[in-house]
Chain A
């Protein structure tokens, strides 16, 4: 059982993910360089936060063409679990594995703070066992986290019960307070908050543990 952590040029949360998954939670991890196509032996993959390829053009727009992501599309189709955090969420939408897009925060500010969230769906393994409306606090740190999608896509997300997490006090102007969504099948989760920064009671609490544990759960 092992978790792959993708490393793009410009990723800066890859080591945080390893520290929390392996150091705090004892789950084996392996770094995946963006040019590798080899996902052999992995049960789950994390796309970490940061600024992949400098986020040139649009956040995640260039990362989407990385060789490792060609393999990831097959990995997802065969049911592998994929967690996209912050920039990783942006990459998943650019790649088309999740619908919608992440755009500039309404306030134009980069927001770095603890964010109060509620569980909007407990259908998927990521939030199984939690009750609907349950509160959790995770840090956010982004300039482009305003979730945007068409009315049709929003309806589809609601019909599929694919809205996983909502903001309590929508900090960035996201449509329908959306902080994180899954695909229909439920094996892919993208979210702007950083669960890997909330795995140690000494720094930032432990509300992120469950989301990471679901990688191998």
Chain B
């Protein structure tokens, strides 16, 4: 079975109901920098991955498990997933 290579990015963000004091502090720093008009600033994490899987569906399944059980804590965080096949020339 040949494996395909994929690139993925998982974005983890705090759920809207969860206070983000670091985001608030950064928003006040933005003001001090002179950048006005920012009404919302929330800090999350971006996790970049490369993986091998039989097909895109399998890759997505693995990444969903990873995101839900390890990368994000569903009690306080939401996550979203971007998944692209990696071009074979760059492999």
Binding site for B on A (CB under 8 A): 57-58, 61, 65, 93-94, 99-101, 103-108, 146, 148-150, 173
Contacts and interface: CB of A to CB of B under 8 A. Distances in A.
B18 A103 contact: yes
Main secondary structure of the interface of B (DSSP, over half): loop
Contacts, number: 35
B63 interface: no
**Interface SS, A side:** loop
A93 B70 contact: no
Which size bracket describes the interface of B in this complex? Answer: 10 to 19
Q: Select the residue from B17, B18, B75 with max chain A CB neighbours within 10 A.
A: B75
A104 B20 CA distance: 8
What are the nearest 6 A-B pairs in CB distance?
Answer: A101-B75, A101-B76, A108-B21, A106-B21, A101-B73, A148-B76
B22 interface: yes
Given A108-B22, A148-B19, A173-B19, 18 more contacts: A57-B70, A58-B73, A61-B70, A61-B73, A93-B75, A94-B73, A101-B73, A101-B75, A101-B76, A103-B18, A104-B21, A104-B22, A106-B21, A107-B21, A108-B21, A108-B25, A146-B19, A148-B18
Contacts of A146: 19
A146 B76 CA distance: 12
Interface of B: 17-19, 21-22, 25, 70-71, 73, 75-76
Contacts of A149: 75
A104 B19 CA distance: 9
A105 B70 contact: no
A148 B14 CA distance: 12
A103 B43 CA distance: 13
9 contacts: A57-B70, A65-B70, A103-B18, A103-B76, A104-B21, A106-B21, A107-B21, A148-B19, A173-B21
A57 B71 contact: yes
Contacts of A104: 21-22
A150 B21 CA distance: 18
B12 to A, nearest CB: 9
Contacts of A148: 18-19, 75-76
